[in-house]
Structure 1
Amino acid sequence: MLGCLSKIIHHRGRRFQCSLVRTYREISSASVDELWQKVVNLADVSWHPLLTSTNVPNGLIPKPGLIFQAVTRLGPIPIRIFVERVHPGEMMSVRVLSIPGIEERVIYRVESTVCGTCVSYSVTLNGWLSPLIWSLIRPRAAKVAAALAAAAEQAANTALSTEPKPLNDRCFDF
Structure 2
Amino acid sequence: MILNFSFKPIADRWTAISKFSLDKTYRAVSSATVDVLWQKLENLADVSWHPLFSSTNAPRGLIAKPGLIYQVVTRLTPIPIRIFVERVKPRELLSFRAIAIPGIENRVSYQVESTLCGTYISYSVTLRGWLSPLLWLWIRPYVARVASELANAATERISDWSLGTRDW
The reply to whether TM is greater than 0.5 is yes
Identity of aligned residues (%): 61
Structure 2 match to 1:36: 38
Which shows bigger deviation, 135-144 or 11-20?
Answer: 11-20
Structure 2 match to 1:145: 147
State how far apart, in whole Å, the 1-side matches of 2:103 and 2:130 are. Answer: 6
State how far apart, in whole Å, the 2-side matches of 1:121 and 1:51 are. Answer: 15
Gap regions ≥5 residues in structure 2 = 1-10
Displacement of 1:59 in angstroms is 1.2
Paired letter, 1:96: A
Structure 1 match to 2:74: 72
Displacement of 1:122 in angstroms is 0.3
Distance change (3 Å), C-alpha of 1:151 and 1:136: same
State how far apart, in whole Å, the 2-side matches of 1:156 and 1:57 are. Answer: 24
State how far apart, in whole Å, the 1-side matches of 2:33 and 2:141 are. Answer: 27
Task: Map Cα deviations across residues 115-172 of structure 1 (whole Å, 9 max, x no partner).
Answer: 1000111000000001000001100000000000000000111011108xxxxxxxxx
Task: Map Cα deviations across residues 8-54 of structure 1 (whole Å, 9 max, x no partner).
Answer: xxx86843320011000000000000001111111010110010010
Paired letter, 2:127: L
* Greater per-residue helix proportion: 2
TM-score (norm 1): 0.85
Equivalent residues, number: 153
Task: Map Cα deviations across residues 31-85 of structure 1 (whole Å, 9 max, x no partner).
Answer: 0000011111110101100100100011111110000000001111110000000
SS at match of 2:84: strand
Task: Map Cα deviations across residues 81-117 of structure 1 (whole Å, 9 max, x no partner).
Answer: 0000000000000000110000000000101011100
Which shows bigger deviation, 139-148 or 16-25?
Answer: 16-25
Paired letter, 2:120: C
Structure 1 match to 2:113: 111
Paired letter, 2:35: D
Gap regions ≥5 residues in structure 1 = 1-10, 164-174
Paired letter, 1:79: I
Q: Structure 1: which 4+ aligned runs deviate by more than 2 Å? A: 11-16
State how far apart, in whole Å, the 2-side matches of 1:89 and 1:12 are. Answer: 44
Structure 2 match to 1:169: none
SS at match of 2:64: coil
State how far apart, in whole Å, the 1-side matches of 2:47 and 2:103 are. Answer: 26
| 2:87 is the counterpart of 1:85 | yes
TM-score (norm 2): 0.88
SS at match of 2:59: coil
